[in-house]
Structure 1
Amino acid sequence: MSDPVCPLCNRPIPSGSGSLHHLIPKLKGGKGGPTVLLHDICHREIHATLSEAELARSFDTIASLRTHPRLAKFIAWIAKRPPGFRSKVPGKRRSR
């Protein structure tokens, strides 16, 4: 069986290293709603970039997430990394 593919970066997700992302945050009514399996690093970048309100309001699909300038830059960068790549240095959190 082949590894699932991360819908954000289109790289295979090695067994046991995926993270479920609620397309609509649980705190904004997404509990029990649609989820997608992402790389842990991709999932962390989404939440470091966007607030729960922004995710619920404007970025509730993979297609919309890909249009965000910071995430688009991240996707271009991560696409060149191997599927099991893990950052050793956490990225900066968004300013609130």
Structure 2
Amino acid sequence: MDNPICPLCGRPIPPGRQSLHHLIPRLKGGKGGPTVLLHQICHKEIHATLTEAELARDFHTVAALKAHPRLARFLAWVARRPPEFHIKSAGGRRKR
């Protein structure tokens, strides 16, 4: 069976690198709502870049996430990495 494709970076997601993202955060009413399967690194970048409120209000679709300037730069960068690429330690939320 082929690995699923990350809808953000377009790379295959190998086993052990998969992460389920709630398009509307659970704490903002998204429990039981739509989810997408992403690379762990892509999922971590979403939450390092955007707050739960921003995700619920403006970035609750894959298209909106891909259009965010900082995420778009990250996705262009990570798309050039192999599917199993990951960062061992993630930093805190980025300052705006």
Query: TM-score, normalising length from structure 2?
Result: 0.94
Question: Identity rate of aligned residues, in percent?
Answer: 71
Which runs of at least 4 in structure 1 moved beyond 4 Å after TM superposition? none
In 2, Cα distance between equivalents of 1:37 and 1:52: 18
Q: CA RMSD in A?
A: 1.3
Q: Which runs of 5+ in 1 are unaligned?
A: none
Unaligned runs of 5+ in 2: none
Cα drift, residue 17 of structure 1: 1.6
SS at match of 1:9: coil
Shift, 1:88, TM fit:
3.2
What is the match of residue 54 of structure 1?
54
CA deviations 1:37-88 (Å, max 9, x no partner) are 0000000000000000000000000000011010000000000000000113
Structure 1 residue 93, shift from structure 2 partner: 1.6
TM-score when scaled to structure 1?
0.94
Say which SS state the counterpart of residue 20 (structure 1) adopts: strand
Match of 1:90 in 2: 90
